[in-house]
Amino acid sequence: MIPAAFEYARASSVEEASKLLNKYGEDAKVLAGGHSLIPLMRLRLAQPKALIDINGIKDLDHIKEDGHKLRIGALTRHVTIQNSKVVHEKLPLLAEVAGEVGDNQVRNMGTMGGVVAHADAAGDYPTIALILDAEIVTNQRTIAAKDFFKDLFTTPLAADEIVTEVVFPVANGPHKYIKFRRRLFDWAIVGVAAQKMNGGWRIGLTNVGPTPVRANAVEEALKTGAKPEEAAQHASDGLDPAGDLRASPEYKKHLARVLTKRAIQQAQGQ
Ligand SMILES: Cc1cc2nc3c(=O)[nH]c(=O)nc-3n(C[C@H](O)[C@H](O)[C@H](O)COP(=O)(O)OP(=O)(O)OC[C@H]3O[C@@H](n4cnc5c(N)ncnc54)[C@H](O)[C@@H]3O)c2cc1C
């Protein structure tokens, strides 16, 4: 389908983008990679009156090491993260996840900021941001990931607020991200992330609810010495996933348990 008519403006700085967003208010949308927004517009599920294109803001495309942090600019494409030497060295889980996002075309265009701002339950980076206590930096403030993913497609971003960076801690210990899907390149039916950090495990689940989920009960069980297969039984504690065409709620809970066991074991090299 063809999108409804809209105005288009290209910003060359964050300040300019913010001014343009202010001008149109709630009726405007930021355009980054366009790989979530444009499909929604073509289906007329989104009908913004104006698109503010931020692709010309070069400062938003960066990967910077900053002490024990890694600052990923909002316009950094998935393929750049996937191939980044510094991400491979300092946060290899993120490089692994970036390589699992969609297909080549999606990875060439889609951006870190776009995935985070879109807050799709099946988005892969939000799970990593949540379990690693990442921070979402905007032109107005810094928001902890745990306070950012409020509900399905819902974040605290104001109409004139622009994500500028996502800041992750360095974590280069054992890790694994497993995405269960029917076909290569599909979105996750369920995804599980496991990262060992500061002596403990961080475990996160993708697409088992409206927001990413931190599997606290699994982390606790591992802390008290449970084996991966025992701890993983807690992965579905408290989950109430919606069923969809690809999986029933019960199947998603089953996947959460099985994939959690596999993710921890594979992270441990088993
Ligand atoms: C076929 C296909 C398969 C895909 N598979 C996956 C997958 O497996 N895993 C996954 O995680 N994603 C997947 N995606 C989504 C892809 O990663 C998108 O690129 C991503 O969701 C949105 O990023 P974008 O840069 O394209 O944002 P856009 O589509 O341009 O924008 C998305 C939303 O975020 C807002 N936005 C964008 N950037 C900012 C910013 N800096 N500040 C404030 N608001 C902003 C926009 O206004 C819009 O509301 C897939 C997409 C397609 C088309």
Pick the CATH number of 7-53 from 1.10.3720.10, 3.30.1600.10, 3.30.43.10, 3.40.190.170: 3.30.43.10
Nearest to 52 by CA among 161, 149, 156, 166: 161
Rounded CA-CA distance 157/117 in Å is: 8
Nearest to 54 by CA among 73, 78, 26, 39: 73
148 lines ligand 1 (CB under 6 A): no
Cα–ligand 1 centroid distance for 231 (angstroms):
33
- Going from N- to C-terminal start, the domains of the chain cover 7-53, 58-169, 175-267
73 lines ligand 1 (CB under 6 A): no
CA 32 from chain centre, in angstroms, equals 15
226 lines ligand 1 (CB under 6 A): no
* Residue 58 DSSP class: G
Question: Which homologous superfamily is 175-267 in?
Answer: CO dehydrogenase flavoprotein, C-terminal domain (3.30.390.50)
Per the CB < 8 A criterion, the answer to whether 5 and 26 are in contact is no
CA distances from 180 to 49, 51, 185, 216, 243 (A): 37, 34, 11, 21, 15
Q: Is the pTM here over 0.85, yes or no?
A: yes
Beta strands in the chain (DSSP E): 7-10, 28-31, 50-53, 63-66, 69-73, 135-138, 142-144, 163-169, 175-180, 190-197, 200-206, 213-214
**Which ligand 1 atom is nearest residue 161's CA?**
43
Cα–ligand 1 centroid distance for 152 (angstroms):
14
Strand order in the sheet with 213-214: 175-180, 190-197, 200-206, 213-214
* Residue-by-residue pLDDT tens, the chain, 270 positions: 899 999 999 999 999 999 999 999 889 999 999 999 999 999 999 999 999 999 999 999 999 999 999 999 999 999 999 999 999 999 999 999 999 999 999 999 999 999 999 999 999 999 999 999 999 999 999 999 999 999 999 999 999 999 999 999 999 999 999 999 999 889 999 999 999 999 999 999 999 999 999 999 999 999 999 999 999 999 999 999 999 989 999 999 999 999 999 999 999 998
Strand partners, 206: 191
110 lines ligand 1 (CB under 6 A): yes
CATH architecture of residue range(s) 58-169: 2-Layer Sandwich (3.30)
Cα–ligand 1 centroid distance for 32 (angstroms):
8
- Best substitution site from 6, 30, 108, 124 to test ligand 1's pocket, by max atoms within 8 Å of Cβ? 30
